[in-house]
Amino acid sequence: VSCNHISLKGSSPTNFLFGTGSSSYQFEGAFMSDGKGLNNWDIFTHKPGNILDGTNGDIAVDQYHLYQEDLDLMNYIGVNSYRFSISWARILPKGRFGKVNRAGVDHYNKFIDALLLRGIQPFVTLTHYDIPQELEDRYRSWLSPEVQEDFRYYANTCFKFFGDRVKYWVTFNEPNVVVIRGYRSGIYPPSRCSFPFGNCTSGDSEVEPFIAAHNIILSHAAAVNIYRTKYQKKQGGSIGMVMNALWYEPISNSLADKLAAERAQSFYMNWFLDPIVHGSYPAEMQELLGSDLPVFSKFDLEMLKNGLDFIGINHYTSFYSKDCMFSPCEPGPGTTRTEGFALRTAKKDGVYIGEPTAVDWLYVYPRGMDKIVTYIKDRYNNTPMFITENGYGEKENQNSTNEELFNDFKRVEYLKSYLQALAETMRTKGADVRGYFVWSLLDNFEWTSGYTLQFGLHHVDYDTLKRTPRLSAAWYRQFIANHTPKILSTQK
C-alpha cells in the first residue's frame, strides 16, 4: 500500500508521537487478580442484558499477563508511544477509604519500565470510563462533590508512584461520553436516565448529566492543580484531558442550521473544554439552561485557570446538524433543550455524510478530521493537541473468511485518508498537533457491543488469545517508517 504522498515531515516536530490506544477495562482482564477491587464496569457487565453478546471484560485480551507479547507487536510496528489507562480499582480498591494495593502499583511499574526499555513513551489515562464500585455505592460517584476528593487522592497516588517516568498524563477519557451515556441515555453505568431519553428505573436525564459533568470538571482541575504544585517542575511532564470529538456539519447553509451545529458542539465538547480553558460554560448552554447549569465558585475559577497543557481528541466520525429551535423537529437525538435543540443525523437528502461501516455510529468522512482540529485550534488558542484515538471498526462472524479477517483494506483506506487530512491541517493551518494514536493495537472488549466489533490492527482469537497482524499493522509500520526521520528511527 502506497502512502508516500502523505507528508508529515516538515509539518511535525521530530518528536511527533505515533502510537496506538487502549484502556484498562477493555484490555487487561485479570479483573480479580492481585488485590484489584471491583469497578463500575465489572458490576455492570455482570448484570444480564447490559452487553450485546452477554460477555464482559473479566479476561478481555489479558494484556495484564500478556503484555510482553504486546510489546513485541508494538516494537515491530515501530510506535514511539503507547496509550493505556490505569485501572483505578487496581491501585485503590476502595478509593481513598482503603489502602493502596501494592501489587497493582508493581504491575504498572513493570509495564512502564518495559515500555521505556523499548523506547516507547507511556501516554497514561487515569480513568477511561472506570471508577471503583465502592465510590458508586458510598456516594453515587460523579453525582457527589465528594468524588473530587477521591479523584485528587487517586491522581496524587499515580503521580507519586509513576510520575518519574510518565511524561504524558490524561485525567479523563471522554467525560462527555461518560455523562451522556451514564446519566442521559443510561446505556452505560450507572444506568441512570428518565423518559424520553431511556427507560431506567431512576435518574433525571435533564439534570444529572450537568451535575456529573460539573464534578468531573472540578475533579480534573483538582488533579491538574496537585500535579502543577507538587510534581510538574520536578517530573517535567504535561497533563491534559481527552474529549470525544464529533464534527457537526450544518445540514444546510441557513443561519439557523449553522447556529444549530455550533450549539451541538457546545453541548457535546465545549461543555468541558470551555470551562477548563476559558473558565466558563459555553454561552449557548448558559442561555438555554439558565439556573439548571451548575455555577463555579470564585475558588473553582481560580483552580480552573489554564486548566490543561494539551487537548486529547478522539475523532472517528461526523454528523449533520439541523436546527430545532427556530423550527420544530420530530423527536430524535439532540432535539431537546438539554441537548441544544440540534438534531444529529447522518443523512442529508437521503444520502449519508460518508460511507457507512459495520459500526452504527461510524461514517467515513475524512474532512471531519480537518474541520474538528481547526475548530479546536481556533477556539482554544492552538493549545497543543494529540489525536488520542482514530480508528475503524468491523464486524466479523463465524463465516468470515481469512481474507475478511486479515485483509482489512477498508481500515487502511480509512486511516490513510484521515491522516492525510490531519497532515494537511498541520501544514496549511499550523495546527499544533503533537501525536496520533490508532484505536487500537488489538481487537478488544468494545463496551456494550462486547466482542462483536473489531478495531484492532491485530486480530485476536478469543479462544486462544492469539494475536495476528492484519494488513493495517503492516501498513502502519510502513507509514511510521516513512514519516520518522531516519536518524531517530529505532526500527530493528
| 87 binding ligand PNW? (CB under 6 A) | no
* Residue 145 or 450 having the CB closest to ligand PNW: 450
Q: Does residue 389 touch ligand PNW according to CB under 6 A?
A: yes
Structural contact between residues 1 and 414, judged by C-beta atoms closer than 8 angstroms? no
Binder among 20, 24, 133, 317 for ligand PNW (CB under 6 A): 317
Cβ atoms of residues 77 and 478 within 8 Å:
no
Choices 171-179, 191-199, 227-235, 376-384; region in contact with ligand PNW by CB under 6 A:
171-179
Between strands 238-244 and 168-173, the pairing is parallel
Figure out which of the listed residues 316, 341, 363, 475 binds ligand PNW, where binding follows CB under 6 A: 316
Among 97, 361, 409, 462, binds ligand PNW (CB under 6 A): 361
Helix (H) or strand (E) holding 233: helix 232-235
Q: Residue 78 or 334: which CB sits closer to ligand PNW?
A: 334
| b/e code 262-275 from CB counts within 10 Å (16+ = b) | bbbbbbbbbbbbbb
- What amino acid positions are annotated as catalytic residues? 174, 389
DSSP letters spanning 341-391 = SEEEESEETTEESSEE-SSTT-EE-THHHHHHHHHHHHHTTT--EEEEE--
Rounded to a whole number of angstroms, the minimum distance from the CB of residue 173 to ligand PNW is 5
Q: Rounded to an integer, what distance in angstroms lies between the CA atom of residue 79 and that of residue 72?
A: 11
∠ Cα 82 116 170 (to 5°): 45
Instruction: Point out which span in 11-19, 170-178, 191-199, 287-295 binds ligand PNW (CB under 6 A).
Output: 170-178
Closest distance to ligand PNW from the beta carbon of 473 (Å):
18
Give the x/- contact pattern for ligand PNW in 198-237, rule: CB under 6 A: ----------------------------------------
Taking CB under 6 A as the rule, does residue 177 contact ligand PNW? Answer: yes
Q: Which residues pair with 127 in a beta bridge?
A: 172
DSSP per residue, 2-25: --TT---BTTB-TT-EEEE---HH
Tell me if 157 sits within 8 A of 96, measured CB to CB.
no
Determine which residue in the list 205, 244, 318, 335 makes contact with ligand PNW, applying CB under 6 A.
Answer: 244
Decide whether 11 or 454 has the Cβ nearer to ligand PNW: 454
Question: Least distance to ligand PNW from the beta carbon of 318, Å?
Answer: 9
Cβ 9 to ligand PNW shortest distance, Å: 29
Q: Which helix (H) or strand (E) holds 428?
A: helix 409-429
Under the binding rule (CB under 6 A), the answer on residue 61 touching ligand PNW is: no
Query: 309: which DSSP letter?
Result: S
Q: How far is the CB of 437 from ligand PNW (least distance, A)?
A: 11
List, in sequence order, every beta strand (DSSP E) within 279-358.
310-314, 318-323, 342-345, 347-348, 351-352, 355-356
The residues that touch ligand PNW, with contacts defined as CB under 6 A, are 23, 26, 173-174, 177, 244, 246, 314, 316-317, 361, 389, 439, 446, 455
